Chains A and B, each alone.
Chain A
Amino acid sequence: MAASNRLSVCKTKAGNSKEKIMDGFIAVYIFMLAAFTGYEVISRVPVILHTPLMSGSNFIHGVILVGAMVALGHAETPLEQAIGFVAVLLGAANAAGGYVVTERMLAMFKNGKEQSHG
């Protein structure tokens, strides 16, 4: 069977089963702590910053670019390369576009107080 053939080629990251279980739990810990962090950071935000903040978080998940680069870096067949190429393209657009849009929105908050007589 093709599947078992492929599996035998595959490299395992952790040596024994004990380490594997630890690895799995560490990932769950990361998920949990990251979720709390995201929740906490946003929960004390004035309404005026909601849109810029949505835009800012949109920029931050642009880090998918890094994942797309790794995926393209491992791509071998033309199909994989094509999909990987598109993924990097989209990821780069997410990051670059997200940054510019957020930066432009936030630029408007500079010197807001001083402009009251302007």
Chain B
Amino acid sequence: MDEIRWLIGASYLVAAVLFIFGLKEMSSPSTARKGIVWAGVGMVLATAVTFLTPGESTLFMPLDNIILMAIAIAIGGSVAWIFGKRVAMTDMPQMVAIYNGMGGGAAAGIAAVEFARGHMEGAVIFALATLGALIGSISFSGSIVAFAKLQGLMNKAFRLPAQNAVNIVLAFATFGLGIAIVWLGQSAPAWMLIAFFISALVLGVIVTLPIGGADMPVVISLFNALTGLAVGFEGYVIGNPLLIIAGIVVGAAGTLLTQLMAKAMNRPIANILFQPISGEAQAGGAIDGTMKEILALDAAMMMRYSGKVIIIPGYGMAVAGAQHKVWEMTKLLEDAGVDVRFAIHPVAGRMPGHMNVLLAEAGVPYEKIFDLEEINSDFSQADVALVIGANDVVNPVARADKSSPIYGMPILNADYAAQVIVVKRGQGAGYSGIENALFYKENCHMLYGSAQKAIADVIQNVKTAG
């Protein structure tokens, strides 16, 4: 038995090294693909040796319920694998959300099993089991709501009356139950445990419900970090160092990532959770001027005979699946001697880096893709800024109007370009519901239509121009 324990311990150690090494490799574009494969090897190894774990009841028998285990892995693993393979690239953020939620649910489940078994001992173990259960449950139900929203199954934002008060009361009730459970230890009654899990789950739902729009990725990232912590805590409860290491590494990394995202939007995390952006918070009354429409032909000529074009892609482009068309247009313009670059706002798409992934999928090389800091000073020298399906990230209101809910968010200075062309489906407001002052500017032209069709028309016209 000692040999098997040694083998398992050594395998967990190797898996932990592979996880950290994989994460490290994933932080550089050239090695990123190898990174996930290494981490995958670690996961397979850790899962395989766990089947060999000696049981507690009989010394020479493996863990109980091996068959149940295999069935659960086969079902859960294959269903998730198939969905992960089939889903469209634009839907990736919600897939991350749902799989993350499942991890949180699993962590809460472990805590529930341990509570039910009643073999836990010591206040620290109880505290960490309870904390892990709380965080895991919130992450589970919250991620499901996030998934439903991004998938379009649920209204974008939904606020209860006196939302913050309800949140606070429920949060206190949940914490109170948790503290009582830790205090009572093994003698905590079943109803208390059930009430605790239910209130934690409800808390996850109502905290996530009012959050919408551009805040969503930050919340998913936050839940990702929380699940990591829950995994680490439950790892301590069941005495498994691999879970502690993997969980806490993800918890720390996820926290940093969440901060980076929140910073990019200039929205403190507390504001995202408790003061969601709402469309009603209208900025400084009506905006002067009118929107001017432009035809695809004129848009094509404007870009074809200019020197520098900067393209600002947004989620609208991704939804229309127009990135391939955009790249085709870019190549045509470049053949005509136009310098074309892409400017990516930190929260373009639904997550930081999401737009880069979509452009990479279409074949746009990295050298043409620039961050906000890199390119923002170049807009004043650009002849044309082409905004495709982006809205809030180019709204100059964020720069000047203190009353606007997006005031202070860094934006791409599209309005500084000599001419601006905005490809947009209709005249409605953006994702956050805020009017865009850019559209009313003198140098701004609206090209209406779905990104796919509008860009195809532009391509046609550029081609005829030769």
Contact = CB atoms under 8 A, between A and B. Distances in A.
- The judgment on whether A and B are partners is yes
Interface of A: 1-3, 6-7, 9-13, 24, 27, 30-31, 34-39, 41-77, 79-81, 83-110, 112-113, 115-116, 118
Contacts of B420: none
Given A47-B346, A61-B224, 10 more contacts: A10-B119, A42-B256, A48-B366, A74-B113, A90-B103, A92-B72, A92-B77, A92-B80, A106-B32, A113-B367
What is the predominant secondary structure among interface residues of chain A facing chain B? helix
Interface residues of B, number: 128
A61 B247 contact: yes
Interface in B343-359: 344, 346, 349, 351-354, 356-357
A59 B92 CA distance: 13
A42 B253 contact: yes
A70 B53 contact: yes
B23 A57 contact: yes
Contacts of B361: 108
Contacts of A57: 23, 224, 228, 249-250, 253-254, 257
B213 interface: no
Contacts of B105: 86-87, 90
A83 B43 contact: no
B234 interface: yes
Given A68-B106, A74-B64, A63 B357 contact: no
Contacts of B119: 6, 9-11, 74
B121 interface: yes
Name which of B56, B68, B235, B253 has the most chain A CB atoms within 10 A of its CB: B253
A48 to B, nearest CB: 4
B363 A88 contact: no
B57 to A, nearest CB: 8
B76 interface: yes
A95 B72 CA distance: 13
Contacts of A27: 236, 244
Interface string B103-143: 10111111011101111110010000000000000000000
